[in-house]
Amino acid sequence: MTHNFISWQGQRVHVSVTGEGEPLLLMAGLGANTEMWTPFVKHFPENRIIRFDAPGTGRSTTPPFPIPVAALSGLAAAVLDSCDVPAADVVGFSYGGAVAQQFAFEHPQRVRRLVLAATTCGIHGVAGDVNALAGLLTPIRYYSPTYFDRTAAATFGGATARSVVVRRRMMETRRQNPPTPYGYAMQLMGATGWTSWALLPKIPHETLVICGDDDPLVPIENARLLASRLPRARTEIVPGAGHLFLWDEVDNLAHRIGRFLSPPQAEAESDADVPLAAAFRFPVMPPPLHEADDAGRTVFP
């Protein structure tokens, strides 16, 4: 593994690169750092894994003001540039899923396949449980094992809710390079007012929209909504999985995502026959029957 730092909009951004092979760019959730991806990365030994700490998280510097989700799309492009990677498969988790949607829209030539995990379109999305969302207003869960243990079940669901062992293991990784309180607040504020609603029909990539059915933060209606707006999306609902399924059910999720990113050869050749520009001509499915109130806002963990 190599650790590099790039300069972007006055910030010193930490970039981690692991392995060789086809590039895979990972975008994490609110307050998360690159180390939290380590169990997931081990399932992709034949890929060149690229991760970065968003400003205010991990080893990156803390910005004096909020950086909007739309601006972080430019950071993702700068990260690929720093690695001399013209295009990569992209996995965006939760808050990182918002950045991934923006990135795929603004830089379609930089994305091969797209995975959107436990995420929403922002405004127009379906809000999660109020108590779960309230737990995201503070980064205390990154500092206090007691607080994380007490609130994790209601906030995240899934294996994190069911297993003390899982919670203790995850707490250890959370305590490595936690976000600064101010940096966490800046990242949280950066999502305010963001939406991909109008962008989704213009994202041409083959996309896996995956979520768990025990996620208090991002109800499964969000996955169905995203897939209905994206021209080339498939939806996968993981039974019993919660919000942190990429980390607390890593074997299961890495298998599902790996299967999507490495399809059978015949399917891969069929996809290769479709030029990227031509994908914009795919018909868009009708909108879902149920949508959130236009005033609804979603917080990305």
User: Residue 94 catalytic?
Assistant: yes
Beta strand residue intervals within the chain, DSSP E? 2-8, 11-18, 22-27, 47-52, 88-93, 111-117, 207-212, 233-238
| Distance, CA of 2 to CA of 281 (rounded, Å) | 40
Q: In sequence order, which residues have a C-beta less than 8 Å from that of residue 271 and are 6 or more positions away? A: 206, 263
Q: Which of 73, 94, 196, 228 is catalytic?
A: 94
Q: What is the C-alpha to C-alpha distance for residues 269 and 260, in angstroms, rounded to an integer?
A: 14
Q: How far apart (Å, rounded) are the C-alpha atoms in residues 300 and 69? A: 11
How many CB atoms neighbour CB 171 within 10 A?
Answer: 19
**Residue 294 CB neighbours (<10 A):** 9
Q: What are phi and psi of 207, to 5 degrees?
A: -130, 135
Residue reference for tokens 């936690």: 178
Task: Just list the catalytic residues.
Answer: 94
